A and B are shown apart, each in its own frame.
Chain A
Amino acid sequence: MKKLLVSPAPHLHGKESTRGLMRDVIIALSPSLLVSIYFFGFSAIKLALLGIISCVVVEYVIQKYIIKSTKTINDYSAALTGLLLALNLPPNSPWWLILIGSIVAIGVAKMTFGGLGQNLFNPALVGRVFLLVSFPVIMTDWTIPVSWFREGIDASSGATALSIVKEGLAKGLNMDQIFQTNNFSYMEMLFSKIGGSVGEVSALALIAGFVYLLVRRVIKPHIPLSIIGSVIIITGIFWLVDPQQYADPIFSVLTGGILIGSIFMATDYVTSPMSTSGMILYGVGIGFLTIMIRYFGSYPEGISFAILIMNACVPLINKFMLPKRFGKEVKNG
């Protein structure tokens, strides 16, 4: 006799899976990876591979030998963390740096909380910030390595645009002088030659990834747009008040980690709010804190810290920023 299945409704299921979503994010990061391979050559490939492999291995080892739980390395989430971590390091990072970063990211930030979906803080960012605090010299050495593709590159230009500005201001220069001496141009920032971490080199490649994520409905635009929007508004106010001390809004958005942070870090499902209103509050919070750290803190860039601080606020945001309920307000019309 043939047996039939019986289960509660619904009997259909959408085609999305955790694995598929993570894979989409990795695909969205690939333009940035390709651009960084073009600029930094072998060291970009090395960093990306090391990051992915070490994160996956760390997760596997912990699940197999320490907590003895179901293996989740197939869901691509550890690989994604590894890739994000690699893209957030200086191109010249030594191999052991990313290994330590991976152990902290997966081991401390993810697995101690219970693995996928349980962590409070973005694992890749925890790894990066740990490295930044522990190895400040290596983590701010932006020397551009020799590339296969671009011969005759001047390996000297080292600093990021943000640190050039910060140092310049400290020396008593004004914005016009800084811009002139360094030949900053917006086109360069879009396609980028300016120093920075592996994944930050091209704004355009990051935006291409953002568009892909939106088209595939992996993320909603609220978090990135509210971060970028608040950065533009806040830096715009400072810039209007004193254009010689503060960079203009477009420069502020295109430099540093605003794009990679808002598109790929702040939108991490696990550590971002659930409701649309919560997402907007979270994004504005990140934008505000980033600029405050840039302008008044000791670091030239603050988005990593800003995201981690707002990660800590997510449970509160989820508690108070509830989705719009149906039937709460009764309209007459």
Chain B
Amino acid sequence: MSKTFSLGGIHPHDNKISATASIENFPLVDTAYISMSQHLGAPAEPVVAKGDTVKVGQLIAKSSGFISANIHSSVSGVVSSVELLPDLSGTMVQHIVIKVEGDVWMDNIDRSEEIVSEIKLSGPEIIAKIAECGVVGLGGAAFPTNIKLSPPAGKTAEYLIINGAECEPYLTSDYRIMVESPEQILIGTKIMMKALNVKSAYFGVEDNKPKAIKLLKKIAGKSYQDIKIVSLTKRYPQGGEKQMIEAITGRQVPSMGLPIDVGVVVQNVGTALAVYEAVQKNKPLFDGIVTITGKCMKEQRNFRLRVGTTFDIMMYAIGGLPKDAVKLISGGPMMGKAVCRMDAASVKSTSALLLLTEEETKRGVESNCIRCAKCVDACPMGLEPYLLNRLSRAGRIEDLEEHMVHDCIECGCCIYTCPSNIPLLDTIRLSKAQVIKIIRSRPKK
């Protein structure tokens, strides 16, 4: 029996049309544009300057604060500039631009195909290595992994959960990782278990990926019995951190709390692979698995893509932008960001480039709320989106806090389900940011 969360959720068609496409290496680019803000927290500080020669995997920017991450070059060549360039939503961000010359890797990176299963490093050494390699969470938020693996004083982790739900429609990058590198991610899981000093881990996979579940169960049953593979119901947002923790452990993360408050740390499948590569292969995080998909595309692709590749180049590689594509999304259709600059480049946490047709992504004309309560039923956090929308539009901040707007996980179930096409989440998102700011600004008891 598959497990699932208790409240809300929706069942959009999963459209995993790129599931059968094996991971290919994306061709080398001419110029790489490497952002300094690829993670949650302070931007990294460049340690190279114009004219410097860099190799693949060389440190080019270092972590600049407690929540920040190192950044390594994804290509070899000469730094042509360090300048402000737009990211995918048009915000100007510091980038290191590298003119590519050949493909020369750092000597200390183990590029062999051999699977290294013996974990030589101790817990603290693992965390240091992960920090050094600039590994961040690849599930979406890009939170530095080393920090997540070091619970704050007074909190201890009991379980590690690996999130392989991939509940967003269309996305298949995690699925391809699970099918093509199951052993590596299980070793990655073991490494993180050692760093956290936990005895058991759960690996949650939605039941629309039976092949991945079977494969992982087989390998885990043979050599990693302390990792339990859990089949989860196909239901969005099954891969939401709080929903996944509830489905697997029955524990609910408290409002404004973190998973560690219920003794859990959640990491994504892609992160497990990055951790394996960092710790066992000494390879910093400078590339990732990216699905390029869409019903308007002739061929569905999964690539291993280096950080700093522009969306232009990605489109070029798939044979140009299809005629009927009207929207490009970095990430999944439910929570991904619409690309508004084609000259923006991919970052560590880029997991997909989705092309949608007008038919698929059309937003209807907004009409009066008919109070059908479908948004209330769909909200996985038990909130009242219809009310939060009204309160947001009226600017009633205190009432918004009373109705827990800060608990919103921005999954989009409310808009998806609204028959009146009301942009519920758009208004809720704005007031949520305000309310959280106010809550955080209050003196701590």
Chain A positions near chain B (C-beta within 8 angstroms):
2, 4-14, 16-18, 20-21, 72, 75, 77, 115-118, 220, 269-270, 272-276, 318, 322-333
Closest B residue to A269 using CB positions: B372
Interface pair A269/B367, CB less than 8 Å apart: no
Interface pair A325/B407, CB less than 8 Å apart: yes
B361 in complex: contacting residue of A12, A18, A20, A117, CB < 8 Å: A12
Interface pair A323/B407, CB less than 8 Å apart: no
Interface pair B370/A270, CB less than 8 Å apart: yes
Task: Show 20 A/B contacts (Cβ-Cβ < 8 Å), sorted by A.
Answer: A4-B325, A4-B328, A5-B358, A7-B327, A9-B335, A10-B334, A10-B415, A10-B416, A10-B425, A11-B354, A13-B421, A116-B367, A117-B420, A270-B370, A274-B373, A323-B379, A324-B382, A326-B382, A328-B255, A330-B254
Q: A116-B368, A327-B407 are in contact. Are A5 and B384 (CB under 8 A)?
A: no
B129 within 8 A of A: no
Chain B positions 313-333 with a Cβ under 8 Å from a chain A Cβ: 321, 325-329, 333
Interface pair A17/B364, CB less than 8 Å apart: yes
B24 within 8 A of A: no
- A residues within 8 A CB of B257? 327
Interface pair A323/B382, CB less than 8 Å apart: yes
Dominant SS among interface residues on chain B: loop
> Which of B74-82, B184-192, B336-344 faces chain A?
B336-344
Q: How far is the CB of A123 from chain B (nearest CB, A)?
A: 13
B298 within 8 A of A: no
Known: A7-B338, A11-B354. 4 other contacts (CB 8 A): A117-B420, A274-B376, A326-B246, A327-B253
B419 within 8 A of A: yes
B209 within 8 A of A: no
Closest B residue to A114 using CB positions: B368
Q: Quick one: which of A4, A21, A330 has the most chain B CB within 10 A?
A: A4
Q: How far is the CB of A219 from chain B (nearest CB, A)?
A: 9
Interface pair B426/A8, CB less than 8 Å apart: yes
Q: A17-B419, A20-B419, A331-B250 are in contact. Are A11 and B368 (CB under 8 A)?
A: no
B33 within 8 A of A: no
Closest A residue to B89 using CB positions: A6
- A residues within 8 A CB of B418? 14
- A residues within 8 A CB of B338? 4-9, 11
B364 in complex: contacting residue of A13, A116, A274, A328, CB < 8 Å: A13
Bound-state CA distance A6–B418 (Å) is: 20
Q: A274-B376, A324-B7, A329-B252 are in contact. Are A12 and B334 (CB under 8 A)?
A: yes
- A residues within 8 A CB of B326? 4-5
Q: How far is the CB of B5 from chain A (nearest CB, A)?
A: 8
Q: A115-B368, A118-B368, A326-B252 are in contact. Are A11 and B419 (CB under 8 A)?
A: no
A12 in complex: contacting residue of B333, B383, B420, CB < 8 Å: B333
Bound-state CA distance A14–B12 (Å) is: 7
- B residues within 8 A CB of A220? 377
Closest B residue to A278 using CB positions: B373
Bound-state CA distance A244–B333 (Å) is: 64
B134 within 8 A of A: no
